[in-house]
Amino acid sequence: MTKHDATFLRHFSMIIAGLMVFTVFLILFASHLYAGFTAREGADGTSPREAARIAKVDERIKPVGAVYAGETGRAAMLAAAEAARAAAASKVAYGGTLDGSVIYGNLCGACHTAGVGGAPKMEMAAWSGRISQGMETLVKHATEGFQGDAGIMPARGGNPSLTDEQIAATVQYMVDSMQ
Ligand code: HEC
């Protein structure tokens, strides 16, 4: 072996060693990338966005798509019926309460407490003339709306989802709580 060959071999083995280190680095880097990649994907390879979309559709078709079988099925059905009932009730104003004070506090009081827009305040002086018309007329005016000399009483106080019973209960509450 000449001196020249020895130098060549030394350089050559250094390059091989360097490439081996680089290969190990590439393997580690690739497996690191892959770990991050699979963590972000769904188990079956769906992307997170796709998975979210599927979950949303599942949620939407639940009442139709769900299988109601056996005891658990019955419980699920009852729960679904209960959820539907709750959803319907929330479309009725103030949860359908017949507590006049709640409805007054949430709606009517906005005008009637301070006398906004000519609304008669909650004082007997402002109401004795109106009360003498009779409850029926007061409730009718509150339900259908009423325009008098003082201003405009909007139909159902401006909330069309109030039921007739709720209006009647609220007018009764107003009349009862006046001094
Ligand atoms: C936007 C303001 C406003 C709201 C909200 C409002 N009112 Fe009135 N209300 C009036 C005004 C103004 C009058 C007086 C109208 C007139 O006599 O000129 C009135 C009058 C009335 C009268 C007397 C009607 C009559 O025949 O003299 C009743 C009863 C009444 N309101 C009930 C209610 C009830 C119940 C609510 C809630 C569901 C309500 N109001 C919400 C403004 C309002």
Condensed to tens digits (0 to 9), the pLDDT of residues 7-49 reads 999 999 999 999 999 999 999 999 888 877 665 555 566 677 8
Residue 1, pLDDT score: 66
Strands (DSSP E) contained in the chain are 146-147, 152-153
DSSP class of residue 106 equals I
Give the distance (Å) from ligand 1 centre to CA of residue 114.
Answer: 12
User: Is 156:164 a contact under the CB 8 Å cutoff?
Assistant: no
User: Is 118:130 a contact under the CB 8 Å cutoff?
Assistant: no
Domain boundaries, the chain: 57-89, 96-176
Give the distance (Å) from ligand 1 centre to CA of residue 123.
Answer: 13
* Ligand 1 atom index nearest CA of 100: 35
Atom 20 of ligand 1, residue of closest alpha carbon: 153
Give the distance (Å) from ligand 1 centre to CA of residue 167.
Answer: 11
Residue 19, pLDDT score: 96
Measured torsion, CA atoms of residues 162, 168, 152, 116, in degrees rounded to the nearest 10? -90
pTM for this entry: 0.61
Beta bridge partners of residue 173, listed in sequence order: none
Atom 3 of ligand 1, residue of closest alpha carbon: 111
Residue 61, pLDDT score: 77
Counting as low any pLDDT under 70, the low residues of the chain are: 1, 37-46, 63-69, 89-90
The domain made up of 96-176 has a fold known as Cytochrome Bc1 Complex; Chain D, domain 2 (1.10.760)
Residue 97, pLDDT score: 92
Mutate to test the pocket of ligand 1, among 92, 97, 103, 112 (most ligand atoms within 8 A of CB): 112
User: Is 125:136 a contact under the CB 8 Å cutoff?
Assistant: no
User: Is 147:141 a contact under the CB 8 Å cutoff?
Assistant: no
Give the distance (Å) from ligand 1 centre to CA of residue 49.
Answer: 52
Residue 120, pLDDT score: 95
Atom 11 of ligand 1, residue of closest alpha carbon: 119
Cα 159 to Cα 8, 9, 29, 85, 167: the distances in Å are: 94, 93, 64, 21, 10
